């Protein structure tokens, strides 16, 4: 089915971007509303973040605090010759730690560009990676084909954890009914736990993550939040928790998180932080070497993830998540600010078949689904989470971040009372 914009027959009385409520004209489709909003809103003078971004502030030059955070990351993670030397030393360390074991490190794969490229790079460095995949049963055909095309040619073994289909459906249903934006939190937590499980099984001490603040940016915590207590709380209130008790879902409780982090001491490494990485060049290379296929946009390799970014977040919350990645590219100089603004004016890559699949699989009638879209919005603050505990343990997590036991972005966002 061809990608197209969908006009909503009814809309909520308001939608939110960040912490500011904005009026909505009835009958205008959500894609057009966001396009108009993107034209009119006040923005950072350097990147594309607007004045309604959660916890944003501007200096006298109009530059936002998110740009300043990324400036600090630029200093901490150079991607010049110094970065190359750091990576060379890191690769040697990983090889030493992997001696006598079947694998040197574990890498999460989704069929997306960054993880596919990183697996190939690890092999090029002479490392023996184990690829790990959390199958939430929403994979697109292209994503599955990409995973096998890359891994088969490289000879890399795949560790896969598949959650029970009905249990996964119940979790997804619960998050949508809860009225929160974080409907992908179970997928992110499931992948994190799967990586820990794979590492524990084979005694692996290092994990590569394909994230780059220069191409993907730093997302405001007020948009998306994740932790294991949050998942349990949402499912208890809006799902059939008594029926399955998250039996097959690999949830990451606080105790499990600390055990994997402190006792197993698996280091989380983001090699692209130290590299001059350009995603468009990576995509072209993957297509040429492996027959890898592009799936239409960032985060769109999974059907449920595509539903979140191309329909649920903009329709339900008035949120254009593309601004995070485009802002990152502007800050890193890969595109100009004017080019970034033009990209925000382009329509979403939206396929109404994906929304139909979500409704059909989660057993939402058209009437019930529309009613849910109009219900009051909630945030992670309306549920039980580990956030206050993370904040109390901020000094500990700083030491863990410096030791690469948790990502620095986790420390910056999850342990801060200001959320950035």
Mean pLDDT (whole number) for 183-210: 96
Token look-up 């220069």 returns: 214
Mean pLDDT of the chain: 89
Question: Is 387 within a domain?
Answer: yes
Question: Is 5 within a domain?
Answer: no
Question: Is 420 within a domain?
Answer: no
Q: How many domains does the chain have?
A: 1
* CATH number reported for the structural domain that contains residue 87 in this entry: 3.40.50.620
Mean pLDDT (whole number) for 9-31: 41
Question: Is 51 within a domain?
Answer: yes
Question: Is 1 within a domain?
Answer: no
pLDDT band at 420 (very low <50, low <70, confident <90, very high): low
Question: Is 81 within a domain?
Answer: yes
Write b or e for each residue in 346-356: b if 16 or more Cβ atoms lie within 10 A of its Cβ, otherwise e: eebebbeebbe
CA distance 194 to 200: 10
Question: Is 3 within a domain?
Answer: no
Provide, rounded to the nearest whole percent, the portion of the chain with pLDDT above 90. 74
Digit-coded pLDDT (tens) for 250-262: 999 999 999 999 9
Q: DSSP of 79-119, one letter per residue?
A: -SHHHHHHHHHHHHHHHHHTTTSS-SEEEE--SSHHHHHHH
Residue 396 has pLDDT above 50, yes or no: yes
Closest CA to 138 of 331, 303, 275: 303
Mean pLDDT (whole number) for 16-39: 54
Q: What is the pTM of this model?
A: 0.87
Domain carrying residue 286: 14-414
Question: Is 419 within a domain?
Answer: no
Please give the pLDDT value at position 300. Answer: 60
Residue 310 has what DSSP assignment?
A: I
């Amino acid at each position: 089915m061809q990608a197209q914009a969908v006009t909503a027959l009814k809309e909520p009385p308001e939608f939110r971007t960040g912490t500011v409520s904005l009026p909505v004209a009835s009958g205008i489709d959500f894609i057009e509303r966001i396009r108009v909003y993107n034209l009119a809103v006040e923005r950072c003078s350097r990147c594309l973040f607007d004045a309604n971004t959660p916890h944003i502030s501007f200096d006298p030059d109009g530059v936002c605090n998110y740009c300043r955070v990324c400036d600090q990351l630029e200093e901490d993670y150079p991607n010049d010759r110094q970065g190359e030397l750091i990576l060379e030393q890191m690769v040697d360390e990983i090889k030493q730690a992997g001696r006598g074991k079947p694998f040197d490190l574990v890498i999460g794969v989704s069929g997306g560009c960054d993880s596919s490229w990183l697996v190939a790079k690890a092999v090029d460095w002479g490392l023996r990676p184990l690829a790990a995949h959390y199958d939430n049963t929403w994979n697109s055909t292209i994503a599955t084909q990409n995973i096998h095309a890359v891994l088969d040619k490289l000879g890399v073994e795949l560790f896969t954890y598949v959650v029970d289909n009905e249990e996964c459906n119940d979790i997804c249903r619960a998050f949508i009914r809860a009225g929160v934006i974080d409907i992908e939190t179970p997928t992110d937590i499931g992948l994190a736990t799967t990586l820990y499980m794979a590492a524990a099984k084979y005694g692996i001490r290092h994990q590569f993550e394909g994230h780059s603040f220069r191409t993907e940016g730093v997302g405001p915590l007020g948009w998306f939040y994740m932790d294991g207590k949050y998942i349990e709380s949402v499912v208890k209130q809006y799902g059939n928790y008594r029926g399955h008790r998250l039996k097959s879902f690999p949830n990451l409780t606080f105790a499990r998180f600390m055990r994997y982090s402190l006792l197993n001491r698996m280091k989380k490494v983001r090699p692209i932080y130290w590299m001059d990485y350009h995603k468009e060049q990576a995509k072209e290379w993957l297509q040429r070497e492996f027959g890898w296929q592009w799936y239409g946009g960032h985060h769109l390799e999974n059907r449920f993830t595509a539903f979140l970014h191309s329909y649920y977040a903009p329709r339900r919350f008035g949120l254009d998540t593309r601004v995070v990645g485009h802002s990152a590219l502007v800050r890193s100089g890969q595109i100009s600010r004017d080019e970034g603004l033009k990209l925000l004016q382009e329509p979403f890559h939206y396929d109404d078949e994906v929304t139909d699949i979500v409704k059909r699989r989660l057993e939402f009638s058209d009437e019930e689904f529309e009613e849910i879209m109009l219900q009051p919005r909630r945030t992670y603050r309306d549920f039980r989470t580990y956030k206050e505990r993370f904040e109390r343990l901020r000094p500990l997590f700083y030491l863990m971040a410096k030791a690469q036991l948790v990502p620095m972005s986790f420390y910056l966002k999850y342990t801060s009372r200001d959320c950035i």
